[in-house]
Amino acid sequence: MSFWTDGGNAEDPKRNFRFKVSIGGFADANAKKASEEADDQLVWYAKKVQKPNFTTAESKHVFMGHTFYWPGKTEWQEITLTLVDPVTPNASGILYNIVQNSGFVIPAKDRLITQGKQKSVLSLGAFSIEQINSDGVTIEKWELKNPFIKKISFSDLDYENDDLTTIDIGIRYDWATCATGLVDGALPYFNANKGQGQFS
């Protein structure tokens, strides 16, 4: 519509294909510098990802012919990340290492280690989803708090299917924060009351 292009400083609307996913646990363990390690956190083989969603429970009270509602507990929903599985880096191998570092071991009578939340969160590392504009500048950034892998599903192999091999990963987290809108070239955290701050 014309109002998106009216004026000299009008911005394009957000586009679904302009995004990037960064996961700390996917960084190359052999990175020599912190800057290189940060670059390696970018999962360039991500195919699609859900943004964080939440639902709020409700309590109902009926009085005479009227119904009234009160908000209850808020729960953040699991998201799914779909990856293409390249040969290098080997996404399957990276995920297997993350699961092992979370505490999963092959069953044996002398192996008493089990998975724990702290190990699972540290193994996956920081998880962020960024929408970018046509210049590659981040205009919205979601950060998942205490994320860990809940589910991994590999695509089926099929002689009649020449699609790229993919992996669906279910990510559970406690809550998420959202930074949106550039202020002096940086992203503030959104606050519905003040326009800035933290949304969680």
**pLDDT at 200 > cutoff 80:** no
Say if CB 172 and CB 147 are below 8 A apart.
yes
Better pLDDT: 47 or 9? 47
Name the nearest CA neighbour of 79 among 43, 120, 49, 117.
Answer: 49
What are the pLDDT digits (tens) for 170-196? 999 999 999 886 555 555 554 444 444
Which residue's entry shows tokens 């699961």? 99
What are the pLDDT digits (tens) for 134-157? 888 899 999 999 999 999 999 999
The residues facing 71 across adjacent strands are: 58
Mean pLDDT of 64-79: 95
* pLDDT value at residue 188: 59
Spatial separation of the C-alpha atoms in residues 144 and 173, rounded to whole Å: 6
Range scoring the smallest mean pLDDT among 11-15, 59-63, 98-102 = 11-15
Residue 175, CA distances (Å) to 105, 109, 187, 198 in order: 28, 37, 19, 12
- All structural domains of the chain: 12-52+63-180 (2.30.110)
Range scoring the smallest mean pLDDT among 32-41, 69-78, 159-168 = 32-41
DSSP string, 108-151: -TT------HHHHHHHH--EEEEEE-TTS-EEEEEEEES-EEEE
Spatial separation of the C-alpha atoms in residues 192 and 196, rounded to whole Å: 7
Residue 71 CB neighbours (<10 A)? 9
Q: How confident is the model at residue 94 (pLDDT cuts 50, 70, 90)?
A: very high
Work out the percent of the chain whose per-residue pLDDT is above 70: 79
* pLDDT value at residue 192: 44
